[in-house]
Chain A
Amino acid sequence: MYVDDKELMSSLAKDDQTALKQIIKSNKNNMYKVALGVLQNKQLAEDVVQETFVKLWEVRKDFDLTAKLSTWLYRVTINKAISLQRRNKFFTFFSHLNNNETSLEDKKVSFEQQIIDNNNSLKTENIENKQIQKSLKQAIDSLPKNQRMAFVLAKYQDLSYKEIAEIMDITVSSVESLLFRAKQNLQKKLINVYKSIN
């Protein structure tokens, strides 16, 4: 067992897979919650977590030992999740264009379509109201990048303002302001989306 991040990363730099396993074990669920908060899709969130650990393995020899490992992992996870979401939006846009242009005889299920289907397939075993989920997803999606990051880190991970500030590389007061605006925007959008659904 490794005691601290420094020891873990030093071992990882020497290609020690036991160290990697320990890092995965202690961080995977936290990272997953953050990715899920942004993407609202289990499969894509898993992919983001996987990509983040692979990235850590790639940079293991150049990793700054003074940096906090969990901060680095959160930062990479949330950035990867947001860029994946942006890519998905792009694919969704083009798949809509495609649907308008092509006829129904083309029954091939494209990659883009699979992403859209996956987005809609999040299981809500314990929650009956799927409309809340849909409106929450749309509302979170529509938030600006920084507000979304701050909101997800605060709500899904219960991180303190200081920790969020470290991850986002901004001041604590900026985090407060971002969170306030994120909540106000989310509230407005949630109500609008919910109204339009009903």
Chain B
Amino acid sequence: MECKKIDILLWDIVDKKTDPNTQEIILKHIEKCTVCKAKYNLLIEANKFIDFQKNIEINPFIETRIIEKIRKDKVSVFQKVLQPAFIGILILFSIFIGNKTATFITNQTQKSTNSITYQNNDSVYFMVFNSISQEEYQFLNNK
């Protein structure tokens, strides 16, 4: 058999997945051919290493580690939800307070501006003299 064909079947030979006849023919070739023999030995060693790794067992404390991690995550999930919610509420509250304060200040400024306007107007004298409000004055004025 040619080396090229053996190359394709080498893993199957190592895994003993070929039929006994083919296995025998190839093994005979490997005995004679140094290149194929080197490749075969390399795969045998790699397979041995994989078998060795297959027998390694996981750390026996992994179960405790996982349970502990889940317990910690439970707390952190709570924190993850509660903390942003609290911060969000705080931001909304600040915006609300800011808005209210700004409205109050704007109203106050508007009032003082209005009174200044009235002072420069003859209508103020009329209002004061007749003891009427601005609305009443406007009502009369419209009529």
Chain A interface (Cβ < 8 Å from any Cβ of B): 17, 20-21, 24-25, 28-29, 32-33, 36-37, 42, 45-46, 49-50, 53-54, 57-58, 124, 126-127, 129, 132-133, 135-136, 155-156, 183-184, 186-187, 190-191, 194
Query: Is the pair A50, B48 in contact by a Cβ cutoff of 8 Å?
Result: no
Query: Which among A46, A50, A129 is the interface contact of B45 at CB below 8 angstroms?
Result: A129
Q: Closest A residue to B59 by CB, please name it.
A: A46
Residues from chain A with a CB closer than 8 A to the CB of B8 are 184
A-B pairs with beta carbons under 8 Å apart, 21 shown: A20-B70, A21-B67, A24-B62, A24-B66, A32-B58, A42-B56, A46-B58, A46-B59, A46-B62, A49-B58, A50-B66, A50-B69, A54-B70, A57-B70, A127-B48, A136-B46, A136-B49, A136-B50, A156-B54, A190-B42, A190-B43
- The B83-124 residues at the A interface (CB cut-off 8 A) are none
CB distance from A64 to the nearest CB of B (A): 21
Residues from chain A with a CB closer than 8 A to the CB of B54 are 33, 156
Query: What 6 A-B pairs come out closest when comparing CB atoms?
Result: A32-B58, A183-B11, A132-B45, A53-B66, A24-B63, A136-B46
Chain B interface (Cβ < 8 Å from any Cβ of A): 7-8, 10-11, 39, 42-43, 45-46, 48-50, 52-54, 56-59, 62-63, 65-67, 69-70, 73
Query: Is the pair A156, B53 in contact by a Cβ cutoff of 8 Å?
Result: yes
* Bound-state Cα–Cα, A29 to B67, Å: 17
* Bound-state Cα–Cα, A49 to B7, Å: 36
Residues from chain A with a CB closer than 8 A to the CB of B62 are 24, 28, 46, 49-50
CB distance from B2 to the nearest CB of A (A): 16
Residues from chain B with a CB closer than 8 A to the CB of A32 are 56-58
* Bound-state Cα–Cα, A168 to B89, Å: 46
Residues from chain A with a CB closer than 8 A to the CB of B50 are 37, 136, 155-156
Q: Give the most central of A42, A58, A187, A194: most B CB within 10 Å.
A: A187
Query: Which among B45, B48, B58, B70 is the interface contact of A28 at CB below 8 angstroms?
Result: B58
Residues from chain B with a CB closer than 8 A to the CB of A21 are 63, 67
Q: Closest A residue to B43 by CB, please name it.
A: A187
* Bound-state Cα–Cα, A190 to B57, Å: 26
Known contacts A17-B67, A33-B54, A46-B62, A54 near B49 by CB under 8 Å? no
Q: Closest B residue to A179 by CB, please name it.
A: B11
Residues from chain B with a CB closer than 8 A to the CB of A155 are 50
CB distance from A177 to the nearest CB of B (A): 14
CB distance from A103 to the nearest CB of B (A): 38
Query: Which among A25, A37, A57, A187 is the interface contact of B39 at CB below 8 angstroms?
Result: A187
Q: Closest B residue to A46 by CB, please name it.
A: B59
* Bound-state Cα–Cα, A184 to B62, Å: 36
Query: Which among A49, A126, A132, A156 is the interface contact of B42 at CB below 8 angstroms?
Result: A132
